[in-house]
């Protein structure tokens, strides 16, 4: 349960986080002095191993030392509820005190999705590697042309990254852009077709290998730019700092502290600027050759500028200014046998809201990959979400659940065909914000 954190001391909490990290680092030289038990993850041996892996990667174009892998995909999807709506009519009280009748109707469409994927690797030196992963696509709606993509979509996972190995350090400099419009990934949205947004994360992460300990630190600058005027109020930038120290107690068990800090700044004065920080610990254990578990937990604080949000310029909606709560997550990776692999993740956390300062989220996600038939990959997915807004314009409590079934078949060395069915249902305590969505798609990919 969220509690009022107005009497807590963020400064003191950050000092505690810094003290934990400093104490762990102070012990790091003594850990390093012990006998080596494994190859360094940041040394020349690791760099050479990565170079050999790069040499074995499949590619279809070679320009000097740069290896390219290019593929093109054409997909067709039927979506029976592109606007995440429910069929119904309701009467609401307007801000002026009158009555407003609102009618909601689901809309379906066929969507054509061409996409090009470009992956490139350039081993600049034996120790330094430049990588480009880029997915560009377009969404064409047959019946609702107003929902067509506003430009080119950039797939999640796209990045430009430069890996540098220096002594006991592995440095990653990266830029990770994505441009998406589909609203289904955001649980707080309903009655929306176009949730266009460009997101970019640029920064640096450092791994320091101390033999018996691994220290990781990262800094990122984040930008969010809405591509539709309906969500311009979400435009913002953020500064993000995070760090972990993993003490390798055995060859299969690592534990240590973790923490992060995010300063969030909006361009408009509708939602509130905020600071989010957490401190906690984690454990990673390789239980068997086929079963790995990571567990993390701690405490999270969110402090906002005001206890209200201002959506219409003259009406303030109550919200929570200061929030604190525990966070936790678990990730289990399990290879059941030669043909079955599954992952299970669950967690409890707070995130920035869309209609409010924040949203509290509990989630469970499960995926299974089935390599039963030759050249065929079958995967199943399931998820459940329980989310509760901190107040704000709508102040919604919701549940979402669903799943997906994906089938892929390697038709020839260059051609892959696939099919996917995805179902999502949202149950909300706010009128006209429930929905069900079914999506069926087929696609073909050609690797040049």
Each residue's pLDDT expressed in tens, for the chain with a length of 448 residues: 333 333 333 333 444 444 333 333 334 333 333 334 455 565 555 555 555 555 556 777 888 889 999 999 999 999 999 999 999 888 776 666 677 888 889 999 999 999 999 999 998 887 889 999 999 999 999 999 999 998 899 999 999 999 999 989 999 999 999 999 999 999 999 999 999 999 999 999 999 999 899 999 999 999 999 999 999 999 999 999 999 999 999 999 999 999 999 999 999 999 999 999 999 999 999 999 999 999 999 999 999 999 999 988 878 999 999 999 999 999 999 999 989 999 999 999 999 999 999 999 999 999 999 998 889 999 999 999 999 999 999 999 999 999 999 999 999 999 999 999 999 999 999 999 999 999 999 999 999 8
User: Residue 184 has which token pair?
Assistant: 């289904």
Cα angle vertex 347, ends 346, 351, to 5°?
A: 135
Specify the pLDDT at position 28: 38
On whether both 205 and 317 belong to a single domain, the answer is no
Specify the pLDDT at position 103: 87
Report how far residue 442's alpha carbon sits from residue 411's, in angstroms, rounded to the nearest whole number: 14
Helices and strands in the chain: count of H runs, count of E runs: 2, 26
Paired with 262 in beta bridges are 240, 276
Report how far residue 90's alpha carbon sits from residue 110's, in angstroms, rounded to the nearest whole number: 29
On whether both 348 and 329 belong to a single domain, the answer is yes
Specify the pLDDT at position 363: 98
In a domain, 409, yes or no: no
In a domain, 11, yes or no: yes
Report how far residue 2's alpha carbon sits from residue 321's, in angstroms, rounded to the nearest whole number: 12
Residue 278 · residue 299 · CB < 8 Å = yes
- Residue that is last in its domain, among 184, 202, 234: 234
On whether both 97 and 17 belong to a single domain, the answer is no
Specify the pLDDT at position 96: 64
Residues 6 or more apart whose Cβ sits within 8 Å of residue 86 = 104, 106, 190, 432, 433, 434, 435, 436
In a domain, 403, yes or no: no
Specify the pLDDT at position 112: 98
- What one-character-per-residue DSSP string does 326-395 give? EEEEEEEEEE-SSSEEEEEEEEEEEEE-SSSSEEEEEEEEEEEEE--STTEEEEEEEEEEEEEE-STTT-
**Phi-psi region for residue 432, left (φ > 0), alpha (ψ -120 to 50) or beta?**
left
Cα angle vertex 171, ends 167, 177, to 5°?
A: 170
On whether both 58 and 28 belong to a single domain, the answer is no
In a domain, 438, yes or no: no
pLDDT in tens, 346-362: 999 999 999 999 999 99
Specify the pLDDT at position 447: 92
Paired with 163 in beta bridges are 129, 172
On whether both 1 and 78 belong to a single domain, the answer is no
Paired with 130 in beta bridges are 122, 162
pTM passes above 0.75: yes
In a domain, 239, yes or no: no
On whether both 178 and 59 belong to a single domain, the answer is yes
On whether both 159 and 256 belong to a single domain, the answer is no
On whether both 11 and 160 belong to a single domain, the answer is no
Specify the pLDDT at position 61: 83
Q: How many domains does the chain have?
A: 2
In a domain, 424, yes or no: no
In a domain, 122, yes or no: yes
Specify the pLDDT at position 367: 98
Domain of residue 278 covers 1-35+247-395
- Residue that is last in its domain, among 395, 424, 439: 395
On whether both 257 and 360 belong to a single domain, the answer is yes
On whether both 141 and 18 belong to a single domain, the answer is no
On whether both 321 and 228 belong to a single domain, the answer is no
In a domain, 353, yes or no: yes
On whether both 60 and 102 belong to a single domain, the answer is yes
- Residue that is last in its domain, among 395, 417, 436: 395
């Amino acid at each position: 349960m969220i509690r009022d954190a107005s009497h807590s001391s963020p400064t003191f909490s950050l000092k505690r986080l810094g003290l934990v990290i400093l104490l762990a680092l102070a012990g790091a030289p003594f850990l390093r002095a012990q006998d080596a038990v494994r190859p360094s993850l940041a040394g020349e041996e690791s760099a050479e191993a990565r170079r050999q892996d790069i040499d074995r990667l499949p590619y279809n174009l070679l320009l000097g030392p740069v290896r390219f892998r290019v593929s093109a995909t054409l997909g067709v999807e039927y979506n029976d509820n592109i606007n995440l709506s429910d069929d119904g009519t309701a009467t609401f009280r307007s801000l002026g005190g009158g009555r407003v009748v609102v009618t909601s109707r689901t809309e379906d469409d066929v969507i054509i999705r061409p996409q090009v994927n470009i992956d490139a690797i350039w081993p600049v030196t034996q120790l330094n590697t430049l990588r480009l992963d880029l997915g560009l696509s377009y969404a064409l709606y047959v019946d609702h042309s107003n929902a067509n993509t506003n430009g080119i979509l950039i797939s999640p996972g796209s990045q430009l990254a430069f890996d540098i190995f220096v002594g006991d350090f592995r440095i990653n400099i990266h830029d990770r852009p994505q441009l998406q419009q589909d609203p289904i990934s955001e649980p707080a949205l309903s009655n929306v077709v176009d949730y266009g947004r460009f997101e970019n994360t640029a920064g640096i992460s450092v791994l320091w290998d101390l033999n018996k300990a691994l220290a990781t630190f990262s800094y990122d600058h984040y930008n969010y730019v809405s591509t539709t005027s309906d969500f311009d109020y979400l435009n913002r930038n953020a500064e993000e700092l995070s760090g972990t120290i993993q003490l390798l107690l055995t060859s299969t068990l690592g534990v240590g502290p973790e923490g992060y800090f995010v300063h969030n700044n909006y361009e408009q004065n509708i939602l509130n600027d905020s600071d989010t920080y957490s401190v906690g610990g984690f454990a990673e254990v390789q239980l068997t050759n086929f079963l790995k578990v990571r567990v993390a937990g701690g405490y999270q604080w969110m402090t906002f500028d005001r206890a209200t949000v201002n959506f219409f310029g003259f009406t303030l909606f109550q919200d929570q200014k200061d929030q604190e709560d525990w966070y936790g997550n678990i990730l289990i990776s399990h290879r059941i046998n030669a043909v079955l692999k599954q992952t299970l993740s669950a967690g409890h956390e707070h995130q920035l809201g869309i209609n409010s300062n924040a949203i509290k989220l509990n989630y469970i996600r499960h995926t299974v990959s089935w390599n039963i038939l030759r050249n065929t990959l079958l995967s199943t997915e399931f998820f459940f979400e329980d989310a509760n807004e901190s107040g704000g314009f709508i102040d919604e409590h919701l549940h979402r659940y669903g799943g997906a079934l994906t089938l892929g078949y390697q038709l020839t060395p260059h051609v892959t065909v696939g099919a996917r069915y995805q179902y999502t249902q949202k149950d909300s305590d706010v009128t006209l914000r429930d929905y069900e969505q079914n999506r069926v798609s087929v696609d073909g990919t050609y690797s040049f």
